[in-house]
Amino acid sequence: MAHEDDAQQAVPTAPRMRTDGDGVTRRRPLRGQHVEETVEVDVPVRTAYNQWTQFKTFPRFSTVVRDVEQLRPTVTAWTLGYGPLRHRFAIEIVEQDPDSYLAWRGLEQKPSHQGEVEFMPTESGGTAITVRMLLQPQGAAKIVARSSGAARLTARSVRGELMKFKQFIEGLGQEGGAWRGTIRNGRVQHDHPEPPRSRVAQWPVG
């Protein structure tokens, strides 16, 4: 006997994948309608990238990020604040290549967003940081989000945050930490047999 309710079911969006020349399948970069902003920062790629991986420090420079919890290398929970309002959401890092690229997606299905950040060395020895974000709001917010005004507002906000990051890392001069791991399809890849965070009790727990 089975009981079932096959009513409306949220079918998750299939991940958009690409297979690169090295044979590894990676998530495909965002294309189409999204917000894209680039700033150049006057520190080397490694410095900029390392600082970016220190998500818990984002509230130090950001005007909207109030708190970041690093739940595990691939999962962070972000609390954004506007005045007295707070919104917490979790994101998953789906791809991460040191000194190069990081892609994420929101874990909430409603509303959903995804984004990526690329780090490119500049001729002057600095770093061009490009952020692309795609918001997929639900319900009434979807209508609002379609307006060009909303897109401009989002772009301005992303640019503003990038400029804050630029001031922050240029002011510090060097990174305050680093996470140099690689993430593929939401899963941490290790070439080191025993990374520090794996050193925990392994015996069976009944």
Partner 1 sequence: MHNPPDEEPENTLSVSPPKKWAAGVPAVVHALGYSLEQTSPRKTGVDLLTMNQVGGIDCPGCAWADPAPGRRHRNEYCENGAKHINDEATTRRITADFFREHSVSDLAVRSDMWLNQQGRLTEPMIKRPGSEHYEPVSWNDALGVLAQELTALDSPDEAVFYTSGRASNEAAFVLQLFARVFGTNNLPDCSNMCHESSGFALSETLGTGKGTVSLDDLHHADLIFLVGQNPGSNHPRQLTALEEAKRNGARIVAVNPLPEAGLRRFKNPQKPSGIVGRGTQIADRFLHIKPGGDLALFQALNRLLLEAEDARPGTVLDHDFIDAHTTGFEEFAQHARTVDWDDVRTATGLTREEIEKVRDEVLKSERVIVCWAMGITQHKHGVPTVREFVNFLMLRGNLGRAGTGACPVRGHSNVQGDRTMGIWEQMPDTFLDALQKEFGFDPPRPHGLDSVNSIKAMREGRVKVFLALAGNFVRAAPDSEATEEAMRSCRLTAHISTKLNRSHTVCGDTALILPTLGRTERDVQADGEQFVTVENSMSEVHTSQGRLEPASPLLLSEVAILCRLARRTLDGEADIPWETFEGDYGTIRDRISRVVPGFHDFNARVTRPGGFQLPNPVNEGVFKNKVGKALFTCNEHVVPRAPEGHLLLQTLRSHDQWNTVPYTNNDRYRGIHGSRHVVLVNPADLTELGLAQGDHVDLVSVWADGSERRAENFEVVPYPAAKGSAAAYYPETNVLVPLDSVADISNQPASKGIVVRLEPVLDRTQPTSA
Shortest gap between Cβ of 4 and partner 1 (angstroms)?
Answer: 5
| C-beta closer to partner 1: residue 140 or 200 | 200
Count CB atoms within 10 A of the CB of residue 178. 15
Q: Quickly tell me which residue has 């305050």 as its tokens.
A: 176
Contact 188, 182 (CB under 8 A): yes
| C-beta closer to partner 1: residue 45 or 102 | 102
- Cα-Cα end-to-end distance for the chain: 32
User: What is the SS3 assignment for 56?
Assistant: helix
Q: Quickly tell me which residue has 């600095």 as its tokens.
A: 126
User: What is the SS3 assignment for 143?
Assistant: helix
| C-beta closer to partner 1: residue 75 or 151 | 75
Q: What secondary structure letter does DSSP report for 57?
A: G
Shortest gap between Cβ of 13 and partner 1 (angstroms)?
Answer: 8
Shortest gap between Cβ of 91 and partner 1 (angstroms)?
Answer: 9
| C-beta closer to partner 1: residue 10 or 85 | 10
Contact 54, 64 (CB under 8 A): no
Shortest gap between Cβ of 179 and partner 1 (angstroms)?
Answer: 12
The amino acid sitting at 90 is A
Shortest gap between Cβ of 180 and partner 1 (angstroms)?
Answer: 13
| C-beta closer to partner 1: residue 60 or 197 | 197
Shortest gap between Cβ of 47 and partner 1 (angstroms)?
Answer: 25
Residue 151, H or E segment? helix 148-172
> Which residues of the chain form contacts with partner 1 (CB under 8 A)?
1-6, 9-12, 14-15, 24-25, 69, 71-75, 77, 88, 90, 92, 107-110, 181, 184-190, 193-195, 197-206
Q: Distance (Å, rounded) from C-alpha 121 to C-alpha 128?
A: 6
| C-beta closer to partner 1: residue 115 or 181 | 181
**Which structure tokens are listed for 194?**
């025993």
